[in-house]
Structure 1
Amino acid sequence: MSDFCLVRQPVFGSTGSLIGYELRFNESEDGQHGFVQSFLSGTFDLVRNRLPAFVAASPTLLIEDAFLAAEPGSAIVLLPSDTTADDVLVEAIARYRAAGGLVAIDHKGAEVSAAESLLPYVSWVRVDARAGNAETLAAVCGRLTSTASASGAAPKLIAAHVEEIEHYEATLASGFHAFQGSFFSRPEPLPSADMPQSTVAAMRLMGLARDGNVSDRQLEDVIATDPVLTFQLLRLVNSAALGGRGVASIGQALRLIGRNAFLRWLAVAVAAARKSKTGVDQELVRQAVERGRLLEQLVGGGRDSGTLFLVGLFSLLDSVFRMPLSEILDRVVLSAEANDALLERSGPYANALDFAESYELGLFENATIIAKDMGVDQSKINDFYTNAIIWTAEALGAALEAQQPGMKRAS
Structure 2
Amino acid sequence: MSEFFLVRQPMFGTTGALLGYEIRFKDTAEGQGGFAESFLSGTFDLVRNRLPAFVACTRTQLVEDVFHMAEPGSAIVMLPPDLVADDAVTDAIARYRAHGGLFALDDVGEIAGPSEALVPFVSWVRIDTRSENAVTIGQICDRITQGTGKNAPKLIATQIDVLEQYEVVLGLGFDAFQGTFFSRPEPLPAANMPQSTVAAMRLMGMARDANINDRQLEDFISTDPVLTFQLLRLVNSAGIGMRGVSSIGQALRLIGRAAFLRWLAVAVAAVRRSSNGVDQELVRQAVERGRLLEQLEGGPRDGGTLFLVGLFSLLDGVFRMPLPEILSRVALSTEANDALLDRCGPYALAISFAESYELGLFENATELAKEMGVDPTKIGSYYTNAISWTAEALGAILDSQPPAHAGAR
TM bucket, shorter chain: over 0.9
Query: How far does the alpha carbon of each residue in 1:227-271 deviate from its partner, in whole angstroms, 9 at most, with x for none?
Result: 111112221232265135332233222222221111111111111
Query: How far does the alpha carbon of each residue in 1:200-247 deviate from its partner, in whole angstroms, 9 at most, with x for none?
Result: 010111111112221111111111111111112221232265135332
Structure 2 equivalent of residue 138 of structure 1: 138
Contact 2:290 2:306 in 1 (8 A): yes
Query: Following the alignment from structure 1 to structure 2, what is the Cα–Cα distance between the partners of residues 316 and 267?
Result: 12
Structure 1 equivalent of residue 366 of structure 2: 368
Match of 2:219 among 221, 237, 241: 221
Give 1:44's aligned amino acid: F
Normalised TM-score (structure 2) = 0.95
Query: Following the alignment from structure 1 to structure 2, what is the Cα–Cα distance between the partners of residues 159 and 52?
Result: 17
Residue correspondence of structure 1 range 308-319 to structure 2 within 5 A? 308-319=306-317
* Residue 110 of structure 1, CA deviation: 1.3
- SS of 2:130 mapped into structure 1: helix
Query: Following the alignment from structure 1 to structure 2, what is the Cα–Cα distance between the partners of residues 141 and 374?
Result: 45
Normalised TM-score (structure 1) = 0.95
Residue correspondence of structure 1 range 47-196 to structure 2 within 5 A? 47-149=47-149, 153-196=151-194
Deviates more, 1:24-33 or 1:368-377: 24-33
Structure 2 equivalent of residue 330 of structure 1: 328
Give 1:68's aligned amino acid: H
- Structure 1 residues without counterparts, runs of 5 or longer: 407-411
Structure 1 equivalent of residue 318 of structure 2: 320
Contact 2:11 2:20 in 1 (8 A): yes
Match of 1:303 among 282, 294, 301: 301
Structure 2 equivalent of residue 37 of structure 1: 37
Query: Following the alignment from structure 2 to structure 1, what is the Cα–Cα distance between the partners of residues 400 and 338?
Result: 33
Aligned length: 404
- SS of 1:55 mapped into structure 2: strand
Contact 2:230 2:402 in 1 (8 A): no
- Structure 2 residues without counterparts, runs of 5 or longer: 405-409
Query: How far does the alpha carbon of each residue in 1:309-366 deviate from its partner, in whole angstroms, 9 at most, with x for none?
Result: 1101111111101110101111111100000000000111101101100110011111
Residue 344 of structure 1 pairs with residue 328 of structure 2: no
Contact 1:68 1:96 in 2 (8 A): yes
Deviates more, 1:159-168 or 1:45-54: 159-168
Query: Following the alignment from structure 1 to structure 2, what is the Cα–Cα distance between the partners of residues 70 and 274?
Result: 34
Structure 1 equivalent of residue 407 of structure 2: none
Query: Following the alignment from structure 2 to structure 1, what is the Cα–Cα distance between the partners of residues 160 and 132?
Result: 12
Structure 1 equivalent of residue 391 of structure 2: 393
Structure 2 equivalent of residue 409 of structure 1: none
* Residue 118 of structure 1, CA deviation: 0.7
* Residue 405 of structure 1, CA deviation: 5.6
Between the aligned residues of both structures, percent identity stands at 71
Q: Give the RMSD, CA atoms, in angstroms.
A: 1.6
Deviates more, 1:139-148 or 1:237-246: 237-246
Give 1:61's aligned amino acid: Q
Query: Following the alignment from structure 2 to structure 1, what is the Cα–Cα distance between the partners of residues 165 and 129?
Result: 6
